[in-house]
Amino acid sequence: MPTRLHRVLLGAMTLPAVQDIIFAQVHVNPPAVNTLRLHLSSPGHWRTGQIYGRIANDTLTITHAAIGGYPVWRPLALTGTGAYQLGFLDALRAEGHTDIDWVGHWMLRPDNQRPTLAESAAWLRYGERRGLMDAQQVLLSAGLEDHHLSVDAYHLIDDRMELLPTSLG
């Protein structure tokens, strides 16, 4: 069955008109945390990518994070390179993670500091204008706070930016 990512990038199918899956909190699993920490080692520019995971009960669990594509491909901010994203998700699903789908995006500031609320709002609205953000897609706004990785998760509910309780594991 095609995932949300397949539907959005390939345009072959439309998304269901109504998606009633609501979550109240976000948990970021170690593989995704490790990816974010890895990208802290390349400061000097905004870094963005996609996040993948699943929703169960009232929790969005982010299992994996990826870049948008190789820098030489000049992937667009948040959007990334479609072929790279599809390949990444297809590989996860081939490894048995059949319940995983694209669930949003992550971003890091050029100086690795924790993004401000205004910066996070700007990225969230940028994603919304590009059709990449809604109630089912989150933005992980990540950076360093007191020399430790800090992550805030935001999504849009009724056109309002909402901060979700977020834990790292």
Domain ranges (residues) in the chain: 4-8+20-168
pLDDT in tens, 57-98: 899 999 999 987 766 666 567 777 778 888 888 899 899 988
What average pLDDT does this structure show over 107-122?
94
Residue pair 55/23 in contact (Cβ under 8 Å)? The answer is yes
pLDDT at 20: 55
* CA 68/CA 79 separation, integer angstroms: 7
3-state SS class at 70:
coil
Superfamily of domain 4-8+20-168: Cytidine Deaminase, domain 2 (3.40.140.10)
**H-helix or E-strand containing 87?**
helix 82-94
